[in-house]
A and B are shown apart, each in its own frame.
Chain A
């Protein structure tokens, strides 16, 4: 099993894509678990970008832009089939052949679109996965004991508990960050609830356990299906092991 130092040494090669596929897969798993390496990998990726940007070369030929704009203006459009007023029975064979040809072209076009859509969806999933990793990384940094949090309020007012929630509808993912939370009583914790619009029972969405700075965060993946419409969120004080339904009135709520 590779030591952490070995992973650190491999980060630069990974940023350049110079590891073997097996090595790259091993490093990728490590990056999901190690914040420091993830940060360094992002810096190394930026360094690699400088290498790409440093390339000098000629401008592309003028026709490249013209061809590009022609392609963008000619994005797939559904063609219409014009029906002839000619006596159809005399042209039936020709008409049938033309119809078959048009159908074949449309099917080919649809197949191309579906393939592209599939690739785009795969790419979108990877994008969402990466965003989630980034959010987890940011939240872990914010939760660090040496992170300093400050809340600015009007004069003569105490900072109030706050909870900010970002909901990624496509993936049912919740990103939650709360601050100024008083420490809960012993054996108790804050529990987040999702209040569905359809009036069904509140759904438990995870426990918030503030650190000594009163800060708590979490990322909950695939919490709810994309058919569920959220009306509001609420936070109550529950036993630290969590509860299936609220047992106290909300401490915080919002929609």
Chain B
């Protein structure tokens, strides 16, 4: 799969605008650009490739049918797609109706995540921070985010007090923010 478009290609906003005009080449371009991220998140949550493929298609079909769901003023398309994919994958994992109004996803970040080079640098920083987290913090964070467990379920699963789990999750998530603050 080709790498994401470099900064000289059409912007995400331009491609989304072309989607509104029914340009399926724009959809293909966005899939080339972000299909890997979407599939990776779905696969991480669902752990099974055909389910991840189904969710990936569903996400891009939704973008095709209602491109106005994404507003570039609210954040980057890559982040929005990643979070939306996570939500849908968790719903699929739990075999439940969609719990989240994906249009309510609000992502405000100063990091230029739409530019491949900036996103790569940012993600390297984030992965480094994740790797440096104490095991208990990282585990709690990942159980909450990728397994869709509530803090109550995590506490039961790990036989830890609720307050401890809450603190671990909160500390781990704030550590990610610190990664990018230090990166600038």
Contacts and interface: CB of A to CB of B under 8 A. Distances in A.
A71 B39 contact: no
A56 to B, nearest CB: 6
B173 A12 contact: yes
Interface residues of B, number: 73
A72 B79 contact: no
B5 interface: no
A67 B60 CA distance: 11
A122 B44 CA distance: 29
Interface string B70-105: 000011001110110111001000000001111111
Nearest to B128: A54
A46 B109 contact: yes
Contacts of A17: 87, 90, 99-100, 144-145, 148
B43 A57 contact: yes
Interface string B146-174: 00111110100000000000100110011
A201 interface: no
A18 B145 CA distance: 8
Given A54-B127, A61-B53, A47 B176 contact: yes
A235 B6 CA distance: 49
B40 interface: yes
Contact of B169 (A18, A56, A67): A18
B126 A51 contact: yes
A123 B102 contact: yes
Interface in A47-61: 47-61
A57 B141 contact: no
A13 B153 CA distance: 13
B64 A13 contact: no
Interface in A25-66: 42-61, 64-65
Contacts of A43: 108, 177
Contacts of A48: 83, 145, 173
A44 B64 CA distance: 28
Contact of B126 (A53, A58, A64, A123): A53
Contacts of B64: 72
A130 B106 contact: yes
Contact of B24 (A12, A47, A72): A72
Contact of A64 (B35, B83, B148): B35
A49 B87 CA distance: 11
Given A17-B144, A43-B177, A59-B39, A52 B151 contact: no
Contacts, number: 179
B104 A57 contact: no
A122 B87 CA distance: 17
B130 interface: yes
A55 B169 contact: no
- Of B36, B57, B103, B105, the most chain A CB neighbours within 10 A belong to B103
Interface string B98-121: 011111111111000100000100
Interface of B: 1, 24, 27-28, 31-32, 35-41, 43-44, 49, 52-53, 56-57, 60-61, 64-66, 69, 74-75, 78-80, 82-83, 85-87, 90, 99-109, 113, 119, 122-123, 126-127, 130, 141, 144-145, 148-152, 154, 166, 169-170, 173-174, 176-177, 179-180
19 contacts: A9-B166, A9-B170, A12-B170, A15-B173, A17-B144, A18-B154, A47-B177, A49-B107, A50-B122, A50-B179, A52-B82, A53-B79, A54-B126, A57-B43, A60-B52, A64-B35, A72-B24, A72-B27, A130-B106
Which are the 9 A-B pairs with shortest beta-carbon distances?
Answer: A57-B40, A127-B103, A52-B82, A126-B101, A60-B39, A18-B144, A49-B79, A59-B1, A12-B170
Given A60-B56, A68-B27, 7 more contacts: A13-B166, A17-B148, A47-B174, A49-B80, A60-B53, A64-B57, A130-B101
